[in-house]
Structure 1
Amino acid sequence: MELKASEALPPGADTNYAVWKCLNRIRSGVGRAKATLAKWGYLNDGDVVCDCGIEPKTMQHLLICPLLEKPCTTSDLAEFNEKGQQCRRMSSPGGLEGNMTQLLLSRDRFTLAFIKNLIMVLIWLLLSYINGSLVATFFRHQTFYEDPRYILFIHMVINDSIQLTVTITLFLLSYIFYRINVSLCCFFILVAVFTTRNTPLNLACMAIERYIAICEPLRHTQICTVRRTYIVIGMIWFIGAAPDITDLFLTLATESMSFFHESVSCLRQNVFKDQILAQKRLAFDAIYFSCVFLTLVFTYLRIVFAARALSTDKMSAKRARKTILLHGAQLAMCMLSYISPSVEIVLSSIFPGRRREIRFANYLIVFILPRFLSPIIYGVRDKKFRKYLKMHSCRVNVKMIVAPANRHDE
């Protein structure tokens, strides 16, 4: 960028020296960004990611960082207008690190922030009520907890409830505190990742159970026992947790203990910083989702062929086929969490003034919407479960009506 020679001082010259110095650093493109400090040897290469979590924090990235209200240009810096001033605040020493709460509040007006948080709390209450009703119905009737099919289902409901609670808690904390203790952040991230990974594995196991019930009906009771079902659930948690537990051990080995007493923006890349971990995670996820996807395709095709060959019980095969299709839709939604960052970047470049809305919509679609499918697949579609769920709902309603009447009679 070139500034024309003039006897008049350029915009920003009337500010204090610290502001003036920072402004000229970002105008020249040479400042104390994380990437520059790493290049000079003051930071590790794994510590250069911006707090937005998208890419390294360079002086060029500061002009287009999603944490800005609007992208900043070199003309904005030269004129030192509102965009230039906000960009200067982000590039100043301690800008993102020291004033993140202020920046966060400036991104969303109070009314908008209140509406978003209210929506999330209402969604959590609604899903907690639905899932709570499903869990209560399951444990009130012995016919369910002796059936592997419903055991796997209720495990997924409980797993999704935990995942929903943790992610919404992190969402609320991002508005209230933004920066939290690293140790607490580790706990939240690991639980969220474990439960997110468990869902596709649970879907694959449920599809296999339906495949055995339709294609091997005489051996179903021998293969799918209650004891084996609980062993499978233990294996689901082990497979889902093992990759990230190794990440935690590596972080404990490479980071000083003081790091776990610091406060950070609770993003995965801010806690597990090593680039090797990110590459390992990508490789594992590719293998992991490929196996689950192939399992669903295999079971679906086998059930289709079995339905054509069977002269009886075609209705059960048809229902099983539709159930696995819904599992596939749920898996596709789960996989969105791995491509959503790239989609968010593309949409933000197309609609630069709508970053906050894009991020919020992305969160609802990727993390919340799939959690509505579990109650639909079994709580509504399954005749047996729907029958007992209605009985439970009627019983609760009767108690709510009778209890006030009894108090009135007393």
Structure 2
Amino acid sequence: MEGTSVRGTTLCAQRQFVVNLLERVLYTTLTTVPCCIFLFINGTMLYTLRSKPVFRETCRYILLYNLLFADTVQLTLSQLMYILSFSRIFLTYPVCGVFQMIGNLTNPVSPLILVVMSLERCVAVCYPLRHASIITIRNTAVAVIVVWAICFTNVVIQILLLLEFPFEELQTLQMNTLCKSASMFLTQRYYDYDRAYNYFLFISAGMTITSTYIVVIIAARSASTDKASALKARKTLLMHLVQLGFSISSTIHNPLLIAVSKLVLFSVLIRIQNFFYVFFIILPRCLSALIYGLRDQTIRPVLMYNLCCQIKLSVISVKPKVSP
């Protein structure tokens, strides 16, 4: 009887292991497949924005390239962390720290670039005759450098605050938990700075974009303003506000998940975590390419051509050769 009981227990444990393994594979597939599709679209969009002089020499396309590049890096890093998490692969503290700093570098780029793009649209409507002299390639390059410099400075400050932790007391650099921000033994001062920085960043970006939207509405009522241009700028600025909202949604992913974890069972939490990941992490990082690529009359034909050619080449490359 005892042998039968042991075999039954072992069989149940094996079945549970297989079920858990299949569930992990299923969830990883459901997130990895759409992520790979969006990465393919983003990559094609990045190639498109560098393929023709009209894109390389137009200010708004230069800004769009930087926005899309930062979103693509974030999407790639998020998916890598997701796969490592579901595979239960533990990294070392230096490797995890590098991944976290790359995320902290690229994450604020999106709202800051959206601010610059909103100001560019505001100048185009309010000062149409001076737009070409104000929004130049040189000034755009300076704005992009300032954006990346702000983000890099933020990372440097975070590293300096991280050095306050007595890492010499650690017995090993191998982590025994998953790689995430909370696992890096961060100090209270680090948390306070990170929270204040994010609040200031998104509140300032939201107020700036909203102000430009209001200025464009007021300017549209002027008789000297091009009504069609003002209407297009209003739609663009409204889209920027939506994109900023998506950027904010990605920052509330972890706090929201922690709050939900206190209310539901672990098995339910896994399903909710996958839902949150798709809608709060993947979608916000891929919408820039879809929105601009399909909306912009200049980008759309080139993007569709590149997408179709890439897909056709992929199909041809995997098509088996038939021997005569």
Q: What range describes the TM-score normalised by the shorter chain of this pair? A: 0.7 to 0.9
Q: Residue 94 of structure 2 aligns to which amino acid in structure 1?
A: S
What's the TM-score, normalizing by structure 1? 0.67
- With a CA cutoff of 8 Å and minimum separation of 6, indicate the structure with the bigger relative contact order: 2
Give the CA deviation at 1:246. Answer: 1.7
Give the CA deviation at 1:262. Answer: 2.8
Distance 1:177 1:307 in 2: 55
State whether residues 323 and 377 of structure 1, in contact with CA within 8 Å, keep that contact through their aligned partners in structure 2. Answer: no
Q: Residue 302 of structure 1 aligns to which amino acid in structure 2?
A: V
Other-structure match for 1:364: 278
Distance 1:401 1:289 in 2: 43
What's the TM-score, normalizing by structure 2? 0.84
Per-residue CA distance 1:71-120 (angstroms, 9 max, x = gap): xxxxxxxxxxxxxxxxxxxxxxxxxxxxxxxxxx97x8112211111122
Distance 1:360 1:233 in 2: 34
Distance 1:119 1:310 in 2: 53
Other-structure match for 1:161: 72
Q: Residue 291 of structure 1 aligns to which amino acid in structure 2?
A: S
Other-structure match for 1:219: 130
Distance 1:117 1:404 in 2: 24
Q: Residue 130 of structure 1 aligns to which amino acid in structure 2?
A: I
Match of 2:107 among 196, 199, 205: 196
Other-structure match for 2:241: 328
Distance 1:306 1:271 in 2: 49
Gapped runs of 5+ residues in structure 1? Answer: 1-104
Distance 2:258 2:24 in 1: 22
Per-residue CA distance 1:97-154 (angstroms, 9 max, x = gap): xxxxxxxx97x81122111111222122111211122122111110111111000001
Match of 2:37 among 101, 104, 126: 126
- 1:399 to 1:109, Cα distance in 2 relative to 1, 3 A: closer
Match of 1:390 among 285, 304, 311: 304
Other-structure match for 2:13: none
Aligned residues: 304
Q: Residue 262 of structure 1 aligns to which amino acid in structure 2?
A: Q
Distance 2:314 2:260 in 1: 48
Give the CA deviation at 1:163. Answer: 0.8
Distance 2:254 2:83 in 1: 20
Other-structure match for 1:145: 56
Other-structure match for 1:305: 218
Aligned-pair identity (%): 28
- 1:139 to 1:113, Cα distance in 2 relative to 1, 3 A: same
State whether residues 119 and 212 of structure 2, in contact with CA within 8 Å, keep that contact through their aligned partners in structure 1. Answer: yes
Where do 1:99-138 residues align within 5 Å? 109-138=20-49
Per-residue CA distance 1:136-195 (angstroms, 9 max, x = gap): 211111011111100000111111111111111111111224421000000111111221
Give the CA deviation at 1:315. Answer: 2.0
Q: What SS does the aligned partner of 1:109 have?
A: helix
Q: Residue 124 of structure 1 aligns to which amino acid in structure 2?
A: C
Per-residue CA distance 1:212-261 (angstroms, 9 max, x = gap): 11111111111111122222122112212322322212333543357482
Distance 2:223 2:152 in 1: 40
- 1:244 to 1:269, Cα distance in 2 relative to 1, 3 A: farther
Other-structure match for 2:188: 275
Gapped runs of 5+ residues in structure 2? Answer: 1-15
Other-structure match for 1:262: 174
State whether residues 121 and 233 of structure 2, in contact with CA within 8 Å, keep that contact through their aligned partners in structure 1. Answer: yes
RMSD: 2.8
State whether residues 71 and 286 of structure 2, in contact with CA within 8 Å, keep that contact through their aligned partners in structure 1. Answer: no
Distance 1:238 1:381 in 2: 30
Distance 1:395 1:345 in 2: 44
Give the CA deviation at 1:394. Answer: 5.1
Distance 2:240 2:290 in 1: 11
Distance 1:331 1:290 in 2: 10
Match of 1:186 among 97, 100, 104: 97
- 1:258 to 1:233, Cα distance in 2 relative to 1, 3 A: farther
